[in-house]
A and B are shown apart, each in its own frame.
Chain A
């Protein structure tokens, strides 16, 4: 393994720069919160939050692929780790968020006040 190993230093610094830029963009958007993004919705989520989630997943991809060096692993390992997590997380989020939203509606429309 140690022989003929090529150093990844250049790529590491590139990924670091990329993650820093993405984080900076997130922070700037988080501070200024442009109204056009915040008050326009796309499938129940406002555009600003869409951007935040997409950038988060973009960062996560680089951390896992470059830093954790998933790109160098066999595809069998890659699939067994990544697809499991993605499937279960989406499933969990779908169930819990749907339920949370439903309970919100019940509280909102019922005759009993919960918070006054």
Chain B
């Protein structure tokens, strides 16, 4: 018990241990310093994101076009709404957490348990939402073409509305299947599954649809993607090299390759924090139910995990701004 909560504060023995120069118990102080180091880790990631974004400032993807899905509203562009909902869920779970800490100070065991339970539920909903967001991100919606030089071409109609590859690509009889281990020699296999359409199929489809235009990654003065003329579009498309569908760590249909890498890495690392936070919260929740802290006469443990949980919320506030708003 004394190992986790410092209750005695004997001022006469300055060097005898048990006194708290920062006015916080050992555990709480260390949680704060853990948070400091974790905050610096996240800052490192976000600063690296900023570095890459500054490096490719004229071609970076627009978040509004990437994250515009909302459950049960298929095909309706709804930028921001879903991620705003996720933010509210996380803030609210932070509120229930701080209410649990508050109830803990008043030694109200049942109230602590209820609020801890709500916090866990909120965390689970958040992680589930993030999984859904990842699913949409990985699956993609429109598809794109990568050129030999590594830039990305997307397709729009006359009004500048995005057009999916599936809407215009033709099926050519060439049809190559991805080479799997069971179909070739042991050393022969494709690294990944082939895209739905080949480059030739997209090019043929583009030729057959004269109303289509190519959109490049480059941002205009008005922060929109540049749309080429039909002649320029055909010239660019002749340099096509690879069909990109959805996103993975190598390439993504949204634009700069680093964009998806940072998205996976930063939101993934944050999601990992949320998951570990949920697990810690569950452990503490059961400890509350078992009356561990009632016996200890202190709910400081709830306060410590609360600090961690709020930190996860705090990081999300920054990730939200940096990834979705700016």
Using CB atoms and an 8 Å cutoff, list the residues of chain A in contact with chain B.
1-2, 5, 7-9, 12-13, 15-16, 19-20, 23-24, 26-27, 29-31, 38-39, 49, 52-53, 55-56, 59-60, 63-64, 66-69, 73-74, 76-77, 80-81, 84-85, 88-89, 92-93, 96-97, 99-101, 103-104, 107-108, 113-116
- What is the bound-complex CA distance between A26 and B87, given in angstroms? 11
Which residues of chain A come closer than 8 Å to B298, judged between CB atoms? Answer: 1-2
Within 8 A of A (CB), among B188-243: 217, 222-223, 239
Which residues of chain B come closer than 8 Å to A76, judged between CB atoms? Answer: 21-23
CB atoms of A30 and B297 under 8 A apart: no
Which residues of chain A come closer than 8 Å to B87, judged between CB atoms? Answer: 23
Which residues of chain A come closer than 8 Å to B29, judged between CB atoms? Answer: 77
A-B contact count (CB 8 A): 163
The interface size bin for chain B is 35 or more
On whether A101 and B54 interact (CB within 8 A), knowing A52-B326, A56-B318, A93-B47, the answer reads yes
- B129 is an interface residue with CB less than 8 A from chain A: no
- B52 is an interface residue with CB less than 8 A from chain A: yes
- What is the bound-complex CA distance between A103 and B181, given in angstroms? 43
- What is the bound-complex CA distance between A12 and B321, given in angstroms? 23
Which residues of chain A come closer than 8 Å to B217, judged between CB atoms? Answer: 115
* Other-chain contact of A60, B44, B317, B324, B325 (Cβ < 8 Å): B317
- B56 is an interface residue with CB less than 8 A from chain A: yes
A9 to chain B, nearest CB (A): 6
On whether A81 and B95 interact (CB within 8 A), knowing A52-B326, A53-B321, A60-B317, the answer reads no
CB atoms of A84 and B55 under 8 A apart: no
Among residues of B, the one whose C-beta sits closest to the C-beta of A9 is B102
Which residues of chain B come closer than 8 Å to A103, judged between CB atoms? Answer: 54-55
CB atoms of B32 and A77 under 8 A apart: yes
Name the 8 nearest CB pairs between A and B, nearest first: A100-B54, A116-B149, A74-B23, A100-B51, A77-B22, A96-B51, A56-B321, A27-B84
CB atoms of B51 and A97 under 8 A apart: yes
B73 to chain A, nearest CB (A): 15
On whether A63 and B54 interact (CB within 8 A), knowing A2-B107, A115-B150, the answer reads no
CB atoms of A77 and B106 under 8 A apart: no
